[in-house]
Amino acid sequence: MTTNTNSRTEQLLSELTPRRIVAELDRYIVGQAAAKRAVAVALRNRARRQQLPDDIRDEVIPKNILMIGPTGVGKTEIARRLARLARAPFIKVEASKYTEVGYVGRDVESMIRDLMEAGIRMVRSEKIESVREEAERRATERILDALQRRGAARPGARLHSVGEAMAALLQQRPPQPPQAPEEEGENGTREELRRRLLAGELDDRMVEIEIEESRIMTFPIFGAGGMEELGMNLQEMLGGMFPKQRRRRSVTVGEARRILVGQEAEHMIDLEQATGEALKRVEQTGIVFIDEMDKIAGRERGLGPDVSREGVQRNLLPIVEGSTVMTKYGPVQTDHILFIAAGAFHATKPSDLIPELQGRFPLRVELSPLGEEEFVRILKEPQNSLIRQYTALMATEGVELEFTDEGIAEIAAIAAQVNAQTENIGARRLHTIMERLLEDVSFEASDIAPAHVKVTAQYVREQLSEVVRNLDLARYIL
């Protein structure tokens, strides 16, 4: 299973040419061609590296990337979509939340532990999906067994005297409720029950199933990175000392199916094998996106290095250049993990980073600020555009939204104007504009449905004119 999954991942990487990677990113992100080309080449180099002989493969290290640009221009989205495209373990962290070793706060090694957790979740999810069909079959059989047991146990279950009630109380056996007329038929043949179960006819019936619960002792863990990791290891160790507790619960058949499919899938996958595969995938294809890199850019001031700046940079350096980080799943080597750093660099410059760290991010790309023209494209072109999202949301209430080209252009113009007059937050401004624009429709949708709302330029101006005209109000609302 591991070899097959790894080979599928390698095959996927080999099929992703730089041009195809850029084309896939274009479906979700407008513009920023230079950044897309840089990450496409970095991803392609991973596939090329897999084709090299063993003696040189380990010598080829990833060329880490530093993205420079204001907030809201697509830095995070490019990295996230790239990882999803390559099915690579991915995490996003903020450089400003780390501190130098010995001080309160998270140590930089915790980002690799978080990446390993992401890899474990990804591989387990894939494994569970691969055995879902068999797990559903087993869960169906368990539900049928429970339904037939219930039907067989029903006769004679009612208590007809005070003596029987007292006996049941002493034996801690709750009296059974009287049989409801609508629940007749569970004593039918197994095949008939199976047909009705698969058809969804029994989803609302109550059934008693046996579920497993881990008896894990919990206790508070203090925030330092090392103590946090130690606490997780102790919890796993103590949890493993106690067998899983089984208890019976009465749930609907639909809920029972969901619970039992998960249980059966967990039993069918090899957790040790999944952990080994996740470890390999993290080491060979993992991507760490470090945001707010400009917040830790700075040199020594006064008597020593700044704890929140140069100290963090020096702790980050061995992780980026290649070291071994201990996790609860085993040691993880960071030599071939791709690091993508990003920052606005308004008050600082990339050259303010320590030279050693600068050298570990040899590829630098600058992302362009977004203007009115880009906002129009962002609203219309991406597969997950805001217009498509809001149209789908309102359609669930029976309200049909129609955006005219003039209306979209007016939304983009207002977003660009507010960005210019207040804080420039890039494409994120569109979220606030759209939410304010459709506030009345969203609130009244359930009352006016079915309805058709046409968003024209006039409609946009009427809804947003007061906010745009009042600059002080715009600072708080938009």
CATH number for the domain including 358?
Answer: 3.40.50.300
Amino acid at 381: E
Per-residue model confidence (pLDDT) at position 164: 57
Count Cβ atoms below 10 Å from residue 392 Cβ, excluding itself: 10
Name 134's Cβ contacts closer than 8 Å, sequence gap at least 6: 264, 268
Decide: residue 290, CB within 10 A, 0-12 exposed, 13-18 middle, 19+ buried: buried
Q: Are 362 and 315 in the same domain?
A: yes
Q: Are 264 and 136 in the same domain?
A: yes
Q: Which strands make up the sheet holding 65-68, listed edge to edge?
A: 90-94, 287-291, 338-343, 65-68, 363-366
Count Cβ atoms below 10 Å from residue 2 Cβ, excluding itself: 16
State both tokens at 21: 């990677």
Per-residue model confidence (pLDDT) at position 297: 83
pLDDT in 10s for each residue of the chain, 478 residues = 445 555 566 666 677 888 999 999 988 888 888 999 999 998 888 888 888 888 888 888 888 999 998 888 888 899 999 999 888 999 999 888 876 555 556 788 889 999 999 999 999 888 888 888 888 888 888 888 887 776 554 444 454 555 555 555 555 444 454 444 334 444 458 788 888 888 877 778 888 777 776 554 444 444 444 454 544 555 555 555 555 667 777 778 888 888 888 888 888 888 888 899 999 999 988 999 999 888 888 655 544 444 567 888 888 889 998 889 998 899 999 999 999 999 888 888 888 888 888 889 988 898 888 888 989 999 988 888 999 999 999 999 899 999 999 999 999 998 888 888 888 888 888 998 899 898 888 998 888 888 898 999 999 988 887 776 666 666 666 5
Name 163's Cβ contacts closer than 8 Å, sequence gap at least 6: none
Please say which residue of 337, 366, 395 terminates a domain.
Answer: 366
Per-residue model confidence (pLDDT) at position 255: 82
CB contact at 8 A, 62 and 338: yes
Per-residue model confidence (pLDDT) at position 103: 57
State both tokens at 169: 């109380």
Q: Are 185 and 300 in the same domain?
A: no
In sequence order, what are the beta bridge partners of 366?
A: 68
Amino acid at 136: E
Q: Are 16 and 112 in the same domain?
A: yes
Q: Are 263 and 136 in the same domain?
A: yes
CA distance 306 to 354: 12
Taking each helix axis from N to C end, the angle separating 405-421 and 372-380, rounded to the nearest 10 degrees, works out to: 130
Backbone angles phi, psi at 327, to 5 degrees: -125, 170
Where do we find the tokens 């995490």? 91
CB contact at 8 A, 453 and 403: no
Please say which residue of 268, 295, 321 terminates a domain.
Answer: 268
Domain-located, residue 288: yes
What is the residue range of 342's domain? 2-128+275-366
Q: Which of 168, 166, 148, 146 is nearest to 157 (CA)?
A: 168
Please say which residue of 268, 299, 316 terminates a domain.
Answer: 268
Name 377's Cβ contacts closer than 8 Å, sequence gap at least 6: 30, 31
CATH of the domain at 413: 1.10.8.60
Per-residue model confidence (pLDDT) at position 331: 92
Taking each helix axis from N to C end, the angle separating 271-285 and 110-130, rounded to the nearest 10 degrees, works out to: 130
CA distance 116 to 51: 25
Q: Which of 376, 354, 349 is nearest to 364 (CA)?
A: 349
Per-residue model confidence (pLDDT) at position 471: 63
Whole-prediction pTM value? 0.75
Q: Are 380 and 356 in the same domain?
A: no
Per-residue model confidence (pLDDT) at position 409: 92
Q: Are 22 and 120 in the same domain?
A: yes
CA distance 93 to 265: 31
Per-residue model confidence (pLDDT) at position 201: 79
